[in-house]
Structures are given as C-alpha cells and as structure tokens.
Structure 1
Amino acid sequence: MHLYHLALDDTDSLKMGCTTYVGAMILKELIKSAKFVDYPNLIRLNPNIPWKSRGNAAVCLRFQSNLRASDILDLAIGMTNRFRDQYDEKNQPGIALHEGEVPEELKRFGRRALYEVIDLGDAMRIADSYNIKYHMIKGGRGLIGAIAAIGNTLEEDHTFEIIAYRGIDKQNVARDVNYDSVAEMSKRTHPMTFNNIDVDSKRLLITPHGPDPILFGIRGEDPETLVRALKMVKFSGAEFWVIYRSNQGTDAHVSLSMKIKDLKPYYAATIEGRVASNPFTIAGGHVIFNLSDGESSIDVAAYEPSGGLRKVISALIPGDQILVAGGVRLDEEQGNRMTFNLEKLQILKLIYERRRNPICTSCHKRMKSEGKNKGYQCKKCGLKLASPEREVLNRNCSEGIYLPPPRSMRHLAKPLQRHRLEKESWNRKVGTITENVRSPSLP
C-alpha cells in the first residue's frame, strides 16, 4: 500500500461552502478502501493574511491505499468542483497530493505558513521539488494552504474537533442547537473541551454564523471526550460527524519570538519589551500604547472586541515589562504604518516604584538633576539633595496572562484552561473518524 497525504484549501466563499466539508466528503469515499494513519488534519494558517479564506483552514487526509495517485487526485478535483462556490471570484482552490513520508523542508514550509506571508511561487517550487501532484482552480492560491497542511504534521501540541455536518441543501437554514445543553456540556467536560460558549454575552461559540454545511463543532483535548460531549448537546439537522486533529487552540501562529525591527506586514509573532507610553483610548473604544524592545518600537492596539483586556492594558505604565502576541496590521490611512494587533498579553514585571526629581524643601519647586549620580539642586535657592524622590505606586493590574473574551479569540489562540494541558507528542492511535447521526436530538 502507498502512503498518501491529500490536502486542499480555499474551497469556500462568504456565500457558501466549507473546506472541511469537501474534505469530509472525500474522506467518506476514501475510507471505504483506505486505511487512515491519522485523523483528518484541520490546519489553521496565518490569520492576518488579508486575502485569506473565511476560516483560513486547510485540510489534510493521511492514509494508506492501493489506489493510483491519479485516481485520488481526480476524486479530490471532482469533489471540490461539486461543492465549491463556482460563481465566487475570490476563492482559488488548491489541491495537493504527496506520496511517502513528509520531508523536513516541507515541514518547515508548514510552520512558516502559520506566521509568514508566503508566495504562490514558493508553494509551487516545493511541490515540484518533491514531486507533489497538484491542481489549481482559477488562480490556485489555495495551493499554499494545501502544501502547508501536508507539511504541518502536528507532531507536538494539538487539539481535536468533532464537527457535525448538515446537508449541503440546508446551509442557508437557521441552525437548531440548544444553548442550555451546550452550557451544561461545557460545564461537565471542562477543562477537556474549550470555547463552547461566551458566558458574558450568552453566545454559542460552537456554531458558525455563515451559510455553510457545518451545524456545530466542539473543540477539545481528545476524541473520546468529544464524542461524549456531542451526545450531551441537543440539536437537530445533523447528518454525520467527523473528528479532526488540529492546531486550533495551540498558539502555534505566535510561537515565533521576533524583534520589532524584523516585523513585516501581516506577520504573526510574539514580542517582548517595555511599555514606552501611557495607553490611551481612541474613537471606537480601541486602546493604543507604544512598546519598545530597546532597539525599535511599535504601536500596539487592543480593539473594542478585546473586552475587559482593554482595562488591563489601560492600567499599564511606561517601564512595565510585557510579552504581546498577535499580528502586524498595515494602516493605509497612516501611510502604511505598521501596528501590532494584540491577541494575548503577558505581564512579566510591573513597576511598583517611580523615581522623580525631589521637591525643594524651601522653595517647594521640583529640583534639577546635576547629572548621573551627582544629585539634585534647586535652581532658585541652590539647595542640594543627593537622592531622588521615591513614589510607591498602587497598581490596578498584576503579573500574569490576559486574553480577550472567548467570543473574540481566534481559532489558533490558546485558552487559559489549555495552559498545562499542552501535548508534547501524539500517540498515533486512530479511533472512529466519522459516523452518521442516527437521529436528531431535538424534535
């Protein structure tokens, strides 16, 4: 039997479709004769790319089969053409098929696609170098994600998602998923599932909002918990479910620490530095501050959807040492000036004491410094003092990790509850991948 890695990306549009659904329909055909060596992989890519697909997700199927490569590729092309939005001008599907083990260069390409901007030519060069068969529809930009999905083998931290699908003919119908049952499921499976609901807004997070075949998806730490969780949810309209192994909820896109001077538009990264200006709020409720790493500086923005995270940021003062994770935005209205969009804040060290020039005991005016380690002198009366004034600060924040509310977190962002649940490897056990939903849970 041959080992194959079949991947696809950019099959959806804002009006219809879903790349995971196309992947699921291909899977349902292949599973009749192929042996899957992994759960289907759901790979989220750099979320800062302006021309990304709706969810910026690629799918890779890894399996052993006696089928010819040409037949597998034809199957994938046929399914993609059947279920993609053929009238949308923006989607540019890409399909790739690699035979054999995944080489290291391909794995590096997969990692780069999480935080860099990659050119289609780079993807084609990699494909040609390793005899990867591929098919591009229209511009074929989805080939970048397809090649990256093959290379992203999820050898370290990963999560799982069980997605319940409805019929393609029902993708414009309102979803019927009971909130209270999801809230109860979330409570009973915590911390092994995550981001099921947003408590503050009472919003369901397992249901997408667009017109697509997904009814809902539950994310968590292992397949067994997800199957159990799905059975707790009251819903109607699902036809079958598929379990994916994924990089969602892992912070994989911000695993690269960068200097500010090395940042480029649309990159994702983590930066360590010191707050260089007092945060201020602009129209719309967005909070801005300047961050310096000692060599360069950049404005960091926490937008209104960041919720209570903005209050923490507003309590920062110059000198506080922090880590910020997020992506680089290019502001065309400000002459293509780069701004760092904040997704995650870690306060490493707060300033609890501030030194200031002392006040003259005679004139009650602020004294002038005579130079480093030379003390202070009053300009008016000539009084000299050796030491600065020390002001003890009462801080309204503390050291630790801060995130926006679940409703505003990106797919790749790691929830607080996943800290200390990270995986160092995968046990390579593949259980039930897909199953039909025998009956709806709601009348």
Structure 2
Amino acid sequence: MRAAPVLLISERDLPEEWYWSAVREHVELEPRVREIRSHSCVMHSGDESWGAVGASAAMAWQPNEHSTWELISWRDESMIGKSRMVSSRVVREMEKQHPETFVNRDPTVDRGLIAPRTPCPVLYGIRGSTARCVEDAHRWLQSRNDVEQSLRWAVHRTNQLSDDHVRGVSLGTVITLPMETKGAHSHISVFSEGVKADLVAFSEGGPVNKLFRRLVAGDRIAWVGLNSPDGSVHLERLAMVDCVPRVVSRPSCCGRTMRSAGAGQTLRCLFCGSNAERTWVSQDLYLGDIDMVDHWSEPHPSNRRHLARPLQLSTPKR
C-alpha cells in the first residue's frame, strides 16, 4: 500500500476512543471518515485517504504520565539523499552523557537507532523522558564537528514507549509444544482464564523467540502481546513463571543408563545386575543464555514496536 497522507483540521477535541481503537484494533477507513465528517473536521487528502485513521487517532490522543518526548532534527535540503553523519560511536557516547534519553541504539549489533535509513529530510530523532533531556542531547550532538549540522528542530510529546497498544499481562499454562511455521515463526497453545489461546512468537523476536522455543506442556508463563485479527496473540514480552522439570534419562549405573526389567518391573543395570526403582532423572531448565530483566524477555531494540515499553524502563506487573 502506498503512503496516503491526510491533513486534518478540527476546532474541537475529538473522541479519545478514536485513538484507542486505532492502536489496539483494526479500524475500517470509511466508517472513520464518516465519523470525522460528523465532527465537522476539515480533511485534505489525495486520491487515497488511509492517513485519516492515523491523523484522527493522533488528534484524539490525550497525553498522560506515560508520555515521552522526541526531538526531531531536519537536514539541510542540500544533504537529503546523502549518507547521514551520525555514527554509532557518537550515539553511544550521547547515551552515556544523557542517560534520560532512551532507545538510542541496539547494543546487540552496535547500531544507532536515532537516524532514519531512508532518504527523508529527517536527520535524527532523540527520545527521552523529558523535553529538556532531548534538547540537551541534541545540543550536545550539534556541538561536535563529527556530526552533521541540522537545519532546524522541534520537540514533540509522544505516545512512544507507552504500551498503549497492549492490554496488560496475561498468565497461562502451556498445553502444546512449540510448532514452527513459515518464516521461522513459532506458535503454541496455552490454557488461560478457562479458555484456550494461541500465542505466536516471530523469528525477529530474538530473546522472546528463544525462550518460546524451550517451552513444554505444563510450563506456567506470563506474556504481553497484541491481539491479531485471526484471534492469536503476537508476543512482545514473555516470562517464565514456573517450569516443569525437563526429563533427561533413566538413572545410570556403572556409567551406563539403567533399563527396564519388564512391564511393572524395576530398573536393572545391564552391567552389574543392580536394581532400582522406576524413576526418571530430570534437570532444571537453563535460561542463562537468554537476555532477560526480572525474568522477562523482549525483542532486541531494532525489532520492537515504537509503542513497546522497554524492560529497562519498567517490567510488566502481573
């Protein structure tokens, strides 16, 4: 689908529900356009007007205590289309100098995230917890001779990192093994609040997908995700609440695994003839190789939605 920008003008506040439906559900264009016109809004668009959904949602949004700030810096027209001079090294140093800014880089691949990768007029965008901190970070960047100079800039209050698109934490018990689908995505079924639910982890999920693939029936998990039109939940964060023991083998004797002596019989060592009760040897699930914060996993910064709140800022409350 091609970009279809819309300019929307209103002399009064618009229903906040327009915002929530846009970030959490699928909004049909024509009904929304009728609502916009019923509120006497002025709308300018080209042949297509899909931008009306986003524009009306943005105007209906009400800032709150979860709001963040972003400074957008624009390039000189003569520089548009050329490589941006905003190195990962400089972004890393900016992050150290201005700790109230966030999601500046992806440390897993040592790549800066503030500069777009498209030939657009934006030089960079700095996100932070206050308007002052993003402005200070911008001035620090612009004071350097190894950073491209910006033509102009502006600070915006935003809904980024707000988690407004999700409805909180869910708990459930795994009832199937993970199954891989096309594109290396995985899905499992869980039992949650008396009903069966299907969870999907995408290959781009990194740590989430890694934890997801180790689940077995009986594991208790917590998750945060987005409800998709097909009824499944697309995971954004995943935590292990309680895991069942992982069966490894039968007990060993004389350096070998003991074998069953027959139906209903004890185990027997085939080397020395010793007997033992019919048991299994199990071990705890090892998760030390998965990046987690307080038992929660999340995708790497490069693969998160703009609305997703990083675990470094807060972990989901169960």
**1:246 Cα deviation after fit:** 0.5
Note if contact 2:197-2:232 (Cα within 8 Å) is conserved in structure 1.
no
Q: Is the 8 A contact 2:8 2:44 kept in 1?
A: yes
Shift of the alpha carbon at 1:244? 0.8
From the superposition, tell whether residues 299 and 345 of structure 1 become closer, same or farther in structure 2 (CA, over 3 Å).
closer
Q: Which residue is 2:178 aligned to?
A: 279
In the alignment, the residues of structure 2 paired with residue 299 and residue 224 of structure 1 have an alpha-carbon distance, to the nearest angstrom, of: 40
Note if 1:395 corresponds to 2:294: no
Which consecutive residues of structure 1, in runs of 5 or more, have no partner in the other structure? 1-50, 52-89, 258-269, 331-336, 356-362, 368-376, 379-387, 421-443
User: What is the letter of the counterpart of residue 60 of structure 2?
Assistant: G
8 Å CA contact retained: 1:275, 1:289: yes
Q: Rate the CA distance shift 1:240–1:338 in 2: closer, same or farther, 3 A.
A: same
Alpha-carbon contact 2:9-2:42 (below 8 Å) kept: yes
User: Corresponding residue for 2:307?
Assistant: 412
Which structure 2 residues correspond to residues 54-133 of structure 1 after superposition, within 5 A?
90-100=2-12, 102=13, 106-133=15-42
Residue 165 of structure 2 aligns with an amino acid whose one-letter code is H
Q: Following the alignment from structure 2 to structure 1, what is the Cα–Cα distance between the partners of residues 113 and 212?
A: 25
Tell me how far apart the structure 2 counterparts of residues 352 and 226 of structure 1 sit (CA, whole Å).
46
- The answer for unaligned runs of 5 or more in structure 2 is 248-259, 267-277, 289-293
SS at match of 1:243: strand
Residues in 2 aligned to 1:189 and 1:406: alpha-carbon distance in whole angstroms:
18
Aligned to 1:59: none
What is the aligned counterpart of 2:239 among 346, 350, 355?
A: 346
After superposing the two structures, state which structure 1 stretch, 106-115 or 272-281, moved more. 272-281
Q: For residues 133 and 243 of structure 2, what CA distance do their matches in structure 1 show?
A: 43
Partner of 1:162: 71
Name the counterpart of 1:306: 205
Q: Distance in 2 between matches of 1:403 and 1:115?
A: 19
**Residues of 1 paired with 2:232 and 2:197: CA distance?**
10
How far the C-alpha of 1:390 sits from its partner, in A, is: 8.7
One-letter identity of the residue aligned with 2:243: I
The structural deviation recorded for 1:108 is 1.0
The residue correspondences of 1:23-422 to structure 2 (distance < 5 A) are 51=1, 90-100=2-12, 102=13, 106-190=15-99, 192-233=100-141, 234=144, 235-254=147-166, 256=167, 271-279=170-178, 285-293=184-192, 294-303=194-203, 305-327=204-226, 340-347=233-240, 349-352=241-244, 364=261, 393-397=283-287, 400-419=295-314
Count of residues in correspondence between the two structures: 285
CA RMSD in angstroms comes to 3.2
CA distance in 1, matches of 2:112, 2:127: 13
Letter in 2 for 1:295: V
TM-score where L is the length of structure 1: 0.57
Q: Deviations over 1:19-78 (max 9, x none)?
A: xxxxxxxxxxxxxxxxxxxxxxxxxxxxxxxx5xxxxxxxxxxxxxxxxxxxxxxxxxxx
Deviation for aligned residue 1:200: 2.1
Quote the offset at 1:168 in angstroms: 4.2
Contact 2:201 2:208 in 1 (8 A): no
Write the distance in 2 (CA, Å) between the matches of 1:339 and 1:244. 34
The change in CA–CA distance for 1:125 and 1:281 in structure 2 (over 3 A counts) is: closer
Fraction of identical pairs, as percent = 27
- Cα distance in 2 for partners of 1:131, 1:389 equals 74
The amino acid across from 1:209 in the alignment is: R
1:301–1:339 CA contact under 8 A, matched in 2 = no
CA distance in 2, matches of 1:366, 1:295: 37
Cα contact 1:110–1:147 (8 A) shared by 2: yes
- Per-residue CA shift, 1:89-117, capped at 9, x if unaligned? x22222211213x25xx101111100111
TM (normalized to structure 2)? Answer: 0.77
